Amino acid sequence: MNDGSDDAVEANFEEPFGPVEPEEYDPADQFGSPEHDLVPEVPTPAVAPEDVDRDLAQTWWTSVFLANVALGAPAIGLMVIYFRGQWRGGGTAILVGLLATVALARSIRGFKRRNDANATEDNS
């Protein structure tokens, strides 16, 4: 009868070949950690979200989204055309990517125009 009191060793599925030796050689003990020792510390200023220009932040995130669509949609469209032979779906994805590229360029140009207009108003 098994009453659950036997001292059977349970299987360790994380380390199937037994426990790791505690005296394992670690080169970081002798040579240090190059990931931490060789990288210089660069001070970064603490910027609160309130300190960032709202127009700049909105243009930035719009540009990030549109750039992702402009790069991803044509790639997916080409793969749909090549692997599945679906010209309508692939062509639509390519068209969406091209439209996102145009929207990205317009967004950046609009920001530059607004920024230049604000600069000339400040200088006057």
Q: What is the pLDDT of residues 38-74, one digit of tens each?
A: 777 788 888 887 888 899 999 999 999 999 999 999 9
Q: What is the pLDDT of residues 79-101, one digit of tens each?
A: 999 999 999 999 999 999 999 99
For the chain, what percent of residues have pLDDT higher than 90?
A: 48
Task: Tell me which DSSP letter residue 52 carries.
Answer: S
46: its two tokens: 């603490």
CB 108 within 8 A of CB 70: no
| Between 100 and 1, residue with greater pLDDT | 100
Backbone angles phi, psi at 50, to 5 degrees: -70, -20
CA–CA distance, 53 with 120 (Å, rounded to integer): 18
Residue 58: both structure tokens together: 């909105």
